[in-house]
Amino acid sequence: MSKGIISKDEDYSQWFNELVIKADMAEYSPVRGCMIIKPYGYSIWEKMQSVLDKMFKDTGHSNAYFPLLIPKSFFSKEASHVEGFAKECAVVTHYRLKNDEDGQIVVDSEAKLEEELIIRPTSETIIWNTYKGWIQSYRDLPILVNQWANVMRWEMRTRMFLRTSEFLWQEGHTAHATAEEAVAETEQMLDVYADFAENWLALPVVRGRKTANERFAGALDTYCIEALMQDGKALQAGTSHFLGQNFAKAFDVKFANKEGKLDYVWATSWGVSTRLIGALIMAHSDDAGLVLPPKLAPIQVVIVPIYKHDEELENISSYVKTLTNDLKAKDISVKFDNRDTQRPGFKFAEYELKGVPVRVAIGSRDMQNGTVELARRDTKTKETVQQEGLANTIEALLEEIQSNIYSKAYNFREENTTEVDTYEEFKRLLDEKPGFLSAHWDGTPETEQRIKEETKATIRCIPLNNAQEEGKCILTGKPSTQRVLFARAY
C-alpha cells in the first residue's frame, strides 16, 4: 500500500492534513470550514467520550441537553461574553424556504423571525436562563451538569480536528452557593482533564492559568492545560473557567442562603473538544502514519494470517479464535484480518498507517513452532514470541507502549522548554528552536500584546505552583516575580 505522506520535517502542516485523510480519520465537507469525521476517527472520539463521561459522573456530574438555537437577546445580557463571540456567530434569520417562479429554492422573505437566533457557539447564556427556573434556595445547589454537543464558530482559516467552524465537544456548567465551592470545582475539573490527557492520551501537559488577555469571555479566571506538539507549537488541550457571579447577575439567578438572604449564584464552565484528536495526532505520530496510545486505539491488536492454502488458514483461524477470546476477556480490542483480497504486506502498511499499537503475524511455520511474530507500532520493532501465554504478553506490551509514548512526548517537551532572559534570545529561539519559552513578564496586557504582535508568541499560561523568582521582564525590563510560558500556538 502506498502511503504517499509528506515528511513532517519537510512540511508539518501538510503532513498533518495528509495523515488525517490517508489514515481514514476525516475528510473535507461540502460546507466550507466543516469536516466529516469518518468511522475510524469517530471511534477515537467515542473512546474519549466514554472515559471522560465516567470521570464526570465519578465526580458527581450528570448529563443534560440544551437547545442548539439561542435567542440573540440572551447574548446582550453579558457584555464581555458577547464581545468575545460576536464575530464568530452564525445567525438564523428566517424559518422557511419556498420555490420561486423559476422553481428555484429561495428563502421566503415573509418568513423572517421576530427575533434572530444564534447557532450555539457555547451554551452559558441558554443554560443560565434555564437555571433561573431551577434555583430558588441553597437546597437547589450545587447543580453539576455536563452537555455533549456540537457548536458553531465561524473560522476564517480552518484545519481538520484543530480549528473548524463546527466541532464536537462537552461543556460543563455548574452552579454553587459560594465562591470557594466554585473555585474548587474549577480546579477539580482541570485536574480531571490533566489526568485524562496524561494517562489516556499519553500527553504531558502544563497546568496553569490564563492571563487576562487570554481569559474566556465572561470569566473571572481561566485555568488550562497546555501541551507541546512535535513542531514546537503549543496547543491548548482543555480549559476550566471560574465565572464568578457574572452570568447569575446577567440572568438574575438568585438563591436564598441558609440565613434567608438572597444572593447571586457562583458559576463555572469547562470543556474539551475533538481538538484532542488533533493533539493526539500531532504529539505522537510519525512519517509512517498514526501512533495511537493503546488506551484510545479503536483496534489495539490486529492479527494477520500468512498462508498459501485454505487448510493453513483454517489451522491458523482455530488458534486465533482462542487468542481473540483470551484478549477480549482482558478487555483488549482485537481484529482478525483474514481478508483474501489483500496481501499481508498491504495489511501491515495499512495498520501501521492507522496506528494500531500491536500487530500479530502468524504463518504455518509459526503454528508448527508454537510462535508468532509480534510487532509494536511505537518503536517499529518486532520479535518472535511463544504462543503460550501470548494474551498476557500482549497485555503487558500494551501497557509498555502506553508508557513509552508518554515518556517520548514528555522528554520532547522537557528538551524543548527553555528559560530565556533577554528579548533578543527570545526572538531568536522562537525561530531556531521552537517550543515553550519560560520568561519573565511585567504583568501588563500592553506588554503581552506587543510581544504577540512582534513575535506571534502568546503567553500560554502562568503555571500553577510556579516558583517565585525575582527577575526582569524580557521586553520592558520591569520587575517580575515569576516566569510564564510563552509559545507560538495552534
- Render pLDDT for 384-430 as a digit per residue (tens, 0 to 9): 999 999 999 999 999 999 999 999 999 999 999 999 999 999 999 99
Question: Contact 345/312 with Cβ under 8 angstroms?
Answer: no
Phi, psi of 166 (to 5 degrees): -115, 135
CA 152/CA 187 separation, integer angstroms: 27
Q: What is the pLDDT of residue 465?
A: 87
Q: Are residue 228 and residue 321 in the same domain, yes or no?
A: no
Q: Are residue 378 and residue 424 in the same domain, yes or no?
A: no
Domain with residue 388: its CATH number is: 3.40.50.800
Neighbours of 295 (CB within 10 A): 18
Region for 443 from its dihedrals, namely left if φ exceeds 0, alpha if ψ lies in -120 to 50, beta otherwise: left
Q: Are residue 60 and residue 201 in the same domain, yes or no?
A: yes
Cell triple for residue 193? 482533564
Q: What letter represents residue 271's amino acid?
A: G
Q: Could you tell me the pTM of the whole model? A: 0.96
In a domain, 381, yes or no: yes
Q: What domain range is 354 assigned to?
A: 301-396
- Render pLDDT for 9-51 as a digit per residue (tens, 0 to 9): 999 999 999 999 999 999 999 998 999 999 999 999 999 999 9
End-to-end C-alpha distance for the chain, whole angstroms = 32
- Which range is least confidently modeled, 74-83, 377-386, 412-421? 74-83
Q: Are residue 147 and residue 248 in the same domain, yes or no?
A: yes
Mean pLDDT for the stretch of residues 113-128:
96
* Peptide bond just before 142 cis, omega within 30 deg: yes
Domain with residue 63: its CATH number is: 3.30.930.10
Q: What letter represents residue 371's amino acid?
A: T
In a domain, 204, yes or no: yes
Question: Contact 264/452 with Cβ under 8 angstroms?
Answer: no
In a domain, 264, yes or no: yes
- Render pLDDT for 325-374 as a digit per residue (tens, 0 to 9): 999 999 999 999 999 999 999 999 999 999 999 999 999 999 999 999 99
Q: What letter represents residue 74's amino acid?
A: F
Indicate the length of the chain as a whole number.
490
Q: Which residues pair with 439 in a beta bridge?
A: 484
Q: Are residue 383 and residue 279 in the same domain, yes or no?
A: no
Mean pLDDT for the stretch of residues 194-200:
98
Q: Which of 342, 366, 396 is the last residue of a domain?
A: 396
Instruction: Estimate to the nearest angstrom the gap between the alpha carbon of 290 and the chain centroid.
Output: 16
CA 146/CA 59 separation, integer angstroms: 11
Q: Are residue 270 and residue 347 in the same domain, yes or no?
A: no
CA 321/CA 328 separation, integer angstroms: 11
In a domain, 322, yes or no: yes
Q: Are residue 280 and residue 318 in the same domain, yes or no?
A: no
Question: Contact 59/149 with Cβ under 8 angstroms?
Answer: no
In a domain, 195, yes or no: yes
Neighbours of 370 (CB within 10 A): 11
Q: Are residue 210 and residue 69 in the same domain, yes or no?
A: yes
Q: Are residue 268 and residue 329 in the same domain, yes or no?
A: no
Please provide the DSSP assignment of 299-333 as one string: -SEEEEEE-SSHHHHHHHHHHHHHHHHHHHHTT--
Domain with residue 482: its CATH number is: 3.30.110.30
Question: Contact 237/276 with Cβ under 8 angstroms?
Answer: yes
Question: Contact 351/302 with Cβ under 8 angstroms?
Answer: yes
- Render pLDDT for 428-487 as a digit per residue (tens, 0 to 9): 999 999 999 999 999 999 999 999 999 999 999 999 989 999 999 999 999 999 999 999
In a domain, 62, yes or no: yes
In a domain, 2, yes or no: no
Q: What is the mean pLDDT of the chain?
A: 96
In a domain, 295, yes or no: no
- Which range is least confidently modeled, 156-160, 175-179, 181-185, 391-395? 156-160
Q: Are residue 148 and residue 33 in the same domain, yes or no?
A: yes
Q: Are residue 244 and residue 327 in the same domain, yes or no?
A: no
Domain count, the chain: 3
pLDDT exceeds cutoff 90 at 231: yes
